[in-house]
Amino acid sequence: MRIALTKTFDFEAAHWLPTFPEGHKCRRMHGHSFKIDVVVEGEVDPAKGFLMDFGDIKAAITPIQNRLDHYLLNEIEGLSNPTAEMLAKWIFDRLRPTLPLLSSVRVRETCTSEAHYRGE
């Protein structure tokens, strides 16, 4: 049986988007309560009855979450232009080595705005 699991985490952070036009509200520094969905996908081990332990996903996420929470994202290496799209890829690239079943990362800046990255 093939299944996808999603683990959600959140963090608070500020950013500004340097590629937006002067005067645009996103060009000014502002903050979000970000929600991140990490999706792993694969075949369920019939002997175990599960794909992977949610705790293993949490363990992979925690150092990334700690690096982002309550920071100015623009100051983090690799996030000088921290759009939702770039943040989704940045998180995906850092999770991939520890989560080989990783299939996607979704970044929600607000309850109506999100970016969903599935890898290259």
70 is catalytic: yes
Considering its fold, how many domains does the chain have in total?
1
Catalytic residue (one of 26, 41, 114, 116): 26
- From 24, 70, 75, 85, active-site residue: 70
Q: 114: closest CA among 77, 93, 80, 88? A: 88
Chain segment 9-24, per-residue pLDDT in tens: 999 999 999 999 999 9
Encode pLDDT of 48-93 as tens digits.
999 999 999 999 999 999 999 999 999 999 999 999 999 999 999 9
* Distance between CA atoms of residues 40 and 52, nearest Å: 9
Active site residue 111: no
> What is the pTM (predicted TM-score) of this model?
0.95
**Which CATH number do you get for residue 59?**
3.30.479.10
Range of the structural domain that residue 33 is part of: 2-117
Residue 4 binned pLDDT confidence (cut-offs 50, 70, 90): very high
Query: Is 26 labeled as catalytic in the residue annotation?
Result: yes
